[in-house]
Copies of this chain bind each other. A is one copy, B any other.
Amino acid sequence: MTLPDLKAPALKKPQLIVDLEKATRNVSRIFDKFQRHGVAFRPHFKTHQCAAIGELFREMGVRSITVSSLDMATYFAGHGWDDITLAVPVNLGQVEEIDQLAQRIRLNVLVDSLETASALNDGLTVACPVWIKVDVGYGRVGIKWNDEARLLELAKLIESSALLEFCGLLTHSGHTYECRGREEVQVLFEEGRTRMLHLEETLQAHGTSARISMGDTPSASLAEAFDGVDEMRPGNFVFYDVVQSQIGSCSAEDIAVAIACPVIGKYEADLKVVVYGGSVHFSKDSVIIDGERVFGQLALPASDGWKPVPLTDARIVSCCQEVSKIHVSREVFDQIGLGQTVYILPAHSCLAAEIYPRYRTTDGQVLERFRLFT
């Protein structure tokens, strides 16, 4: 293994860097795939949450998007997006705000209970497109895939409501994150797709047409059978991360975001390197690799950004509030100097990116992004 020379001066503090070339490549790959399959593409913007990165998608022809909060929807509405799905079941405390935004754009919302659907209908003053959230096996939110009675009851209520426009069935197969390798993801996605199609047929038998919306980056990256699926809503693929590379959705080289950190400690007896950079800089999320909890992947500076170090040569084994500990091979240890900059590819890029009010890019730009708490 040849590693690059490390001569960059020490950073003052950790900073998240985006490689726009990699991000663009990641987006193109998925965009082209869904074009080929004739599936509508409604990318989830919860990962980048950045207007400028949204433009990468728009330039390819994307016109409809997904978000994870009403504030995020409002941010993107302010940047010219007028067809947005809020992919979290409606919070009754936000019906008035939903109504306000629904007056400006096509705001698709999710319900999975009669109570919420009724309250929404009562609180709206304009028509609003509504999807029924279905749980195909992830077990988080949604009507269970085998609870047809409840689904029919809810679909009927929505169809009879004056202001709710029934669109279809929406699910997120978040349990694909537990898969390892293409085949496991394909099996799980296929199970979910079959369950969704069955529910669609059930509704059809009762005279109701429904579209089918599915999501998640592992399925978008690795599945190939999308018959009957009307739209896909992956999000993480724009940046990818170590969790995704472990699933097999991407390679470590595809990860388009890294946190630059200065090295503040080298401990030869333990072949240990400590960086200034911890859970306040890239979150506490982690992934189990070979039975060990790992908080990211080390990468070393390269002329065009960074080069991932194989996990066999470096493991981020602990992540405290401000510092992290990395066990490295002798070869890697010898190439890292105190005060030099290294990179951490995050375990979970959505949460790492969430921390930063703006991104620096490998080509020197500064991109402002949505901020949840201002």
Interface residues, chain A, with chain B CB atoms under 8 Å away: 9-13, 46, 68-71, 88-94, 97, 112-113, 115-116, 119, 139-141, 144, 147, 174, 262, 264-266, 269-270, 274, 276, 279-280, 283-285, 318, 320-323, 325, 338-339, 348, 350-351, 354-357, 372-374
Q: Which residue of B has the minimal Cβ distance to A133?
A: B265
Contact B338 A140 (CB under 8 A): no
CA separation between A199 and B142, bound complex, in Å? 59
Compute how far the CA of A327 lies from the CA of B283 in the bound complex, rounded to whole angstroms. 25
A147 CB to nearest chain B CB (Å): 8
Please state if B10 and A141 are interface contacts (CB–CB under 8 Å). no
Our pick among B71, B139, B265, B373 for the contact of A141 (Cβ within 8 Å) is: B265
20 other A-B residue contacts (CB within 8 Å) besides A89-B265, A116-B338, A279-B285: A11-B93, A12-B94, A13-B91, A46-B322, A69-B322, A88-B323, A89-B264, A89-B274, A91-B264, A91-B276, A92-B262, A92-B338, A93-B262, A113-B266, A140-B320, A280-B372, A284-B351, A321-B350, A321-B354, A357-B374
Contact B92 A46 (CB under 8 A): no
Q: Assess whether B280 is in contact with A318, with CB atoms less than 8 Å apart.
A: no
Enumerate chain B residues within 8 angstroms of A356, measured Cβ to Cβ: 373
A268, B14: Cα distance in complex, Å? 45
9 A-B interface contacts by CB (under 8 A) = A10-B91, A13-B69, A13-B70, A88-B276, A88-B322, A93-B339, A283-B284, A355-B373, A356-B373
Contact of A174 among B88, B119, B265, B320 (CB under 8 A): B320
The listed residue with most B CB atoms (<10 A of its CB), out of A69, A147, A354, is A69
In the complex, the answer to whether A373 meets B357 with C-beta atoms within 8 Å is: yes
Looking at the complex, which one of B119, B140, B355 makes contact with A323 (CB distance below 8 Å)?
B140
With A and B bound together, what is the CA distance between A283 and B91 in angstroms? 21
Closest 3 CB pairs of A and B: A10-B93, A92-B339, A10-B92
**Are the C-beta atoms of A46 and B323 separated by less than 8 Å?**
no
- Cβ of A325: which chain B residues have Cβ within 8 Å of it? 139-141
User: In whole Å, how far is A343's beta carbon from the nearest beta carbon of chain B?
Assistant: 15
Instruction: Tell me how far the C-beta of A327 lies from the nearest C-beta in chain B, rounded to whole angstroms.
Output: 10
Cα–Cα, bound, A365→B350 (Å) = 32
Q: How far is the CA of A266 from the CA of B114 in the complex (A)?
A: 11
How far is the CB of A115 from the nearest CB of chain B, in Å? 5
- Choice from B93, B97, B264 contacting A88 with Cβ under 8 Å: B264
Known: A11-B93, A276-B91, A280-B354. A68 touches B348 (CB 8 A): no
Task: Determine the distance from Cα of A144 to Cα of B267 in the docked complex, in whole angstroms.
Answer: 10
CB-defined contacts of A13 to chain B, threshold 8 Å: 69-71, 91, 93-94
| Residues from chain B with Cβ under 8 Å of A284 in the complex | 283-285, 348, 351
CA distance A280 to B356 in the complex (A): 12
Which residues in B have their C-beta under 8 angstroms from that of A283? 279, 283-284
Contact, CB under 8 Å: A351 / B9: no
B residues near A373, Cβ cutoff 8 Å: 355-357
Contact residues in B for A355 (Cβ distance below 8 Å)? 373
CB-CB < 8 A to A354: which residues of B? 280, 321
